[in-house]
Chains A and B, each alone.
Chain A
Amino acid sequence: MSTLLVAKKDFQDAIRSRSLLGVSFLFTSFLAFLLYYKITLETPAEPFSLSELYLPMASVVALVGTLLGYNAIAGEIESGSVLFLLGTAHTRTDVLFGKLLGRGAVVAVTVLVGFAVCAPHYAVLIETPPEILTYAGLAGKILSLGVVFVSIAIGFSSVFQSETLAVWGGVCLAVGFSFGWDSFLAVVKTVLFTSLTLPPWYYLLTRLNPKYAYLSIDGAALEYAPFYLDAWFGLVILAGWVIAPLGIAYWQFNRGDLA
């Protein structure tokens, strides 16, 4: 109950933020542009599939989630509003989970608004009948990724109990997950492997980045596919990315001085 009250208040506060409006607008515009570009401008070898949208949108939602979460704890501590929350019948744990739920709800609204606004756009552009269920499924995947990134950012936010550090931590996280990870893997691939067959752990390394966790690995390219390349293990990775940062946040936030 307490957690929900904090979540509700956090949502009320965050949803009124101008920067959130900006982020939602950019998210929606990007999705609209991407649909337009993929369907009408590109002349692909194969017909358009909604799965082409997954990776670019995953990168964008990584940014959105990080933006929403990086300041969730550090900002409250720095400004002193955490004293308002904890001046009444709440525990530090209520505040932490309330923040996760509140910011998670905000990311959900951003993603759902974006996909809802772009749905007619998609239906009009596509010449074949629109795949409504796949479209909704894609929205769901992107939404859950958003929550994962919020959780990661909140974990960081509780470690850096200063707003400035949290900003830089947030920027590093967003860039790291959106681009850095890919560049690192590209380097590993070029330097270490010359043959076309990559070892299974390389694929694991790839999908440890939450935005790749939903992608199924083409096991045919491998001699054998270990369990960690199965589709279900992607969900384990995502759960790990929610639980581990929250665990760190829980430990850190329950331990420190807040004033």
Chain B
Amino acid sequence: MANEHEENSSETARDLNRRRFFARLGLGSLSIAAVGTAAFAFQYLQPNVLYEPSPIVNQGKPDRYPLDSVTLDVGAGIYIIHSEEGFFSLSAVCTHLGCLTAWKQELGIIACPCHGSKFFVHADGAHKPGDKIEGPAPRPLPWKRIWLNDDGDLLVDRSTDVPPLARDSFVRI
């Protein structure tokens, strides 16, 4: 009797061990599958190819822009400014919430129609072109890299910011 009982209990123990093994196997493989799915999903959600316009835009010959002029290219969202120091480019997208700013010739400033931010265009004392005059914008309008290509056209790389008033931030002719 006792022997039989012992045998039974050891069988039960084996049974339990086997169940635990399979439970672990199942849960383990499920977790691996879940982690893998999450990783592949993250990869899937990032597009490998973008069908967006190039960040580099051609702005034509420099002589299109007279001295002391501020020209807004609405499509590209940049200003081309011909100042005494040379040509430079400012982003036209307000740093507050992304509205397209406008050039106010009569005031000589750039103003945002959405929340009233205003920016300098001409250096004024300690203020550099692009700096904020007033309004909620958190940062000055960034300067964009500008250069001449071999055909003599002005090119602007909208994805690259350059330091204001730096030597390389201007195109001089």
Q: Do A and B bind each other?
A: no
Chain B contacts to A: CB under 8 angstroms: none
Chain A contacts to B: CB under 8 angstroms: none
